[in-house]
Amino acid sequence: MCGIFFSLSTTGPVLPTEETCCLLRTRGPDSLRVHTVQWGINNKDCDSVYLTFVSTVLSLRGDYVHSQPLVDGESQSVLCWNGEAWKVAGTQVRDNDTEHIFQLLLQAVKPLSTAGDPETTDRRNAVQRLADVISSISGPFSFVFYDAFNSRLFFSRDCLGRRSLLQGLDEARTLKICSVCDGTFSTHFEEVDTEGVYMIDLGNTFSQDTSVAIATAGDVQNNIYNIQTLPWCQQDSPAGHLKTPIPHMNKAVPQGNPPPLNTESPCVSELELRLHQSLKLRIQNVPEPPNYTKGRDAKVAVLFSGGLDCTLLARLSHDILPSSETIDLLNVAFENPRVAAAAAAGKDKTAKSVQSVYESCPDRMTGRAAFAELEKVCPGRNWRFVAIDIPYVETCAHRDQVKRLMRPHNTEMDLSIACALYFASRGQGVASEIGAGESQPIPYTTSARVLLSGLGADELFAGYGRHGIAFSRSGFEGLIDEINLDVSRLGKRNLGRDDRILSNWGREARYPYLDEEFVAWVLQAPVWEKCGFGVLESSDSSDHETEFKETGIDSEKKALRLVALKLGMTNVAREKKRAIQFGSRTAKMEKGRVKGTEVLS
C-alpha cells in the first residue's frame, strides 16, 4: 500500500498541502520521497512544465523497503505505484512487484533501434506495448508513470477500482492526481474513472500554439490537458486498447430444472479450490510488521462481522497459514443513541436482555457465534477476537476526519459505511483468545498490516435481496441481468472510498473474492452453480445425514454456503446477509427517517 501525489504545473513545483501529506504518511509510514521533473518547452505563455511526484510506502512485498518514486537513471522516467501485482502474464510475482512493473514499463516505452521502424510508428507502438503490460497485471493497482523517452504521462486504476486515485484542478489550474483529495471542500476532485489508462502527451499539450494557461479551474471536465483514454475492451480488442481480464457473463438459462446443488457437487469443490488459490496469493509470505513477536502478534486480520463471506475467508486462512500464526478477527460495534434510547424505554427487547449496548449489536452477536464455531472446527489455531467498541462521543470526535477521507463521496450512507470501516481497520479494542476462559479481555491493538475483506461475494453470487426479487419477477433471465449489472459497475462504485478509509491506519485491505481469475471463473459458470434460485432440493439422496445438514441453506450465495458447510461451519452457512451499517449500528444515529442518499451538509 502506498500514497501517491502528482502535480502538473506551468508555474513551478506544486507539493501537496500539509494536511494531505499527513494523510499520505498514514497510508505509507515506511517511506516518503519527493521527485520533481522540469520539462522545457517553447511556448509563448511559459518556458517549462513542472512534474512533481510524491510517494509514501507501506512495505508488504520483498525483504526491504523499496522507496518511491522510482526513477530510471538512463531516461529519468518516474513511477509512483500503489498496488499488488500478484501475477504478470499469468506468472506469480514472488518478490517486490514495484521494481518488476517499473522494468516492464520501461522496456515497453523505450524506443526500438530497428532501422525499418520510423520514429512516429515506434511512438505509437510504445503506447500499445505499455497497454499490453498493464493488461497483463493481475491485482489491484493505481499508478502514475512518466515516460521520459516519449514525454508522456500515464495514470490509471485497475478495472475493478480496488485502489483509490483522484484527479482535479486547483485554483491555479494545476492538475493534481492523488490517493486522497488535496485541498478544501471547494476544490473539485473526482475519482479517476476505471474505463482505461489515461495519457497526456506533453509534447502535444504544451506545443507552441497550444496553452493550458488560459483555462479556468472549472474546465477539468473539458479535458484542458488533452487527456486521452486507452480503454478496457474484451480480448478481441483493437490496437490502442487494453484487454480486460473480466469476461462477459455466462447468460445460459437452464432447460428445465437445473440439478440440485449440494456439498458433493463438483462446482462446489471447484469453488473451494479457486477461492483457496486466490486467498493463498494474498496471505502467504506477509512480512513481519514492526516489533512483531512470533506466536503472539498477527500478520493477518479479518474484517469480521461473523457473516458468511468473511468467516469463510477466516476458515480457509486456517488451512493456508502455519498453525503457529495468530489470526485476528476485528469486530466493530457502535453505541447508537437512537437504539440505546429505545432499549432504555423497553422498546428493544434484544438490547435490553444483554449486558452491553455493544454486545447487542447484530454483528457482535454473529461475530461471537462465528468465533466460537471457528474455535470448535479449528482448535489448533489461536483465533483472537478483537471487540472494538465505539462510544457515540468517539464517533462524533472522528466524524470530520472520516468525512475528509471519504471525499468526494458525501452521503449519509457513505458516512455510515465509512465509520464502520474506519474504526474496524484501526483495530483497537479488547481481545479474547482461545483458552482465556473466564479471564477479563485485555486492551489490544492489532499488529496486522494485511486486512482481509469479503467484499465482492454478494455481487458475484447473488447475495442481495434484490437478486431474489429479480428472479421472482423475471426468472433466470432477470437474475442474470441483475448479477451482470452488479459486476459491471464494481469499478464505478465505492472501492476507492473504502481504500481511502481502510488505509488510514497503515494497513492494506485485500479482496480475495475480487481476484481477476476468480471473478472470471465465477462469471463463466452457469448461474445455477452459484446460487440456489429455481433449483429443486435433492429428494433421493442416500446420505440422509448430509441431506439433513443441507436443509435450511438459503438460495442467496448458496455455493459459498455449501463450501462453508463442507468445511464444518454449520451455523455460518445459514447466516443471513446484513449490511455493515446496520450490523454495526452506524446507520441513522441521530434521526431515524434520514435516507442513505441524503447529501451531508
| Residue 263 and residue 546 in contact, taking contact as beta carbons nearer than 8 Å | yes
- Verify whether residue 2 is a known catalytic residue: yes
CA atoms within 13 A on the CB side of 581: 13
Place of cell 458447510: 565
Which of 127, 20, 37 minimizes the C-alpha distance to 76?
37
Place of cell 447466516: 575
Question: CA–CA separation, 534 vs 316, rounded Å?
Answer: 29
Cell representation of residue 499: 481504500
Which of 86, 122, 115, 145 minimizes the C-alpha distance to 514?
86
- Count of other CB atoms within 10 angstroms of residue 73: 6
Question: CA–CA separation, 86 vs 96, rounded Å?
Answer: 10
Question: CA–CA separation, 482 vs 371, rounded Å?
Answer: 33
| Residue 451 and residue 425 in contact, taking contact as beta carbons nearer than 8 Å | yes
Question: CA–CA separation, 458 vs 59, rounded Å?
Answer: 30
Active-site entry in 2, 310, 378, 419:
2
Cell representation of residue 461: 453470487
The CA-based diameter of the chain, rounded to the nearest angstrom, is: 85
233 — phi, psi (to 5°)? -140, 170
E strands, 427-584, where? 428-433, 442-445, 450-452, 508-510
Cell representation of residue 540: 433421493
Question: CA–CA separation, 311 vs 302, rounded Å?
Answer: 8
Q: Residue 326's beta-bridge partner residues? A: 298
Helix, strand or coil, per DSSP, at residue 107: helix
Place of cell 513477536: 293
Question: CA–CA separation, 287 vs 86, rounded Å?
Answer: 15
Question: CA–CA separation, 404 vs 74, rounded Å?
Answer: 40
Question: CA–CA separation, 560 vs 395, rounded Å?
Answer: 34
Place of cell 423497553: 346
Beta pairing class for 70-71 and 78-83: antiparallel
So which residues are the catalytic ones?
Answer: 2
